[in-house]
Amino acid sequence: MPSPWPPPPFGLHIFACKHTKPLPLAGLFHRMIDAGWTPWIDRSVKIGLLLIGLSLILGLFTRIGAGAALVFLSLFYLLYLPLSGIPQPGNEGTYLVVNKTLIEAAAVLVVLVFDTGAIAGLDLLLRRRKLKITTSSDETS
């Protein structure tokens, strides 16, 4: 029975079928799993996501949170490169190079580059307080 999905454009399905190289970080993570690091990895990913999420939602230490989010998203992207262009079971779509993780990374990069902590959030309040303290100490001197 032929596939109900149209073939990927420009002969990319040939590349996807012949792509037998391991993904960039697959060997490293296979060794970590074989060494029994799975519970530690699971816990640290959960804690990291919680801290990054709180940082970005509250606007506290926004640059650090955005940098950490960019590192996490880069790791997630490199662990599963969307190169096949063929529907995969368990995925919500068909991706070829660009997937939602890469788009999220681009959005986080915008947050990082434009220093949104200076615009809104708790970083803005901390900067105003620090500025107020430094100007009041300069006036008393």
pLDDT of residue 72: 94
8 belongs to a structural domain: no
Can you give the residue range of the structural domain that contains 27?
Answer: 23-140
Contact 82, 96 (CB under 8 A): yes
- The two structure tokens encoding residue 53: 């999420």
46 belongs to a structural domain: yes
The whole-angstrom separation of Cα 57 and Cα 71 is 18
64 belongs to a structural domain: yes
76 belongs to a structural domain: yes
pTM of the model: 0.73
Q: What share of the chain is helix, strand, coil (3-state, %, to 5)?
A: 65, 0, 30
1 belongs to a structural domain: no
35 belongs to a structural domain: yes
- Taking only the tens of pLDDT, the chain with its 141 residues reads 555 555 544 444 444 444 445 567 778 888 888 998 889 989 999 999 999 999 999 999 999 999 999 999 998 888 878 777 777 777 777 778 888 899 999 999 999 999 888 888 898 998 888 888 888 777 776
What per-residue string of b and e applies to 94-121 under the rule 16 or more CB within 10 Å gives b? ebbeebebbebbeebeebbeeebbeeeb
Domain count of the chain? 1
pLDDT of residue 86: 77
130 belongs to a structural domain: yes
74 belongs to a structural domain: yes
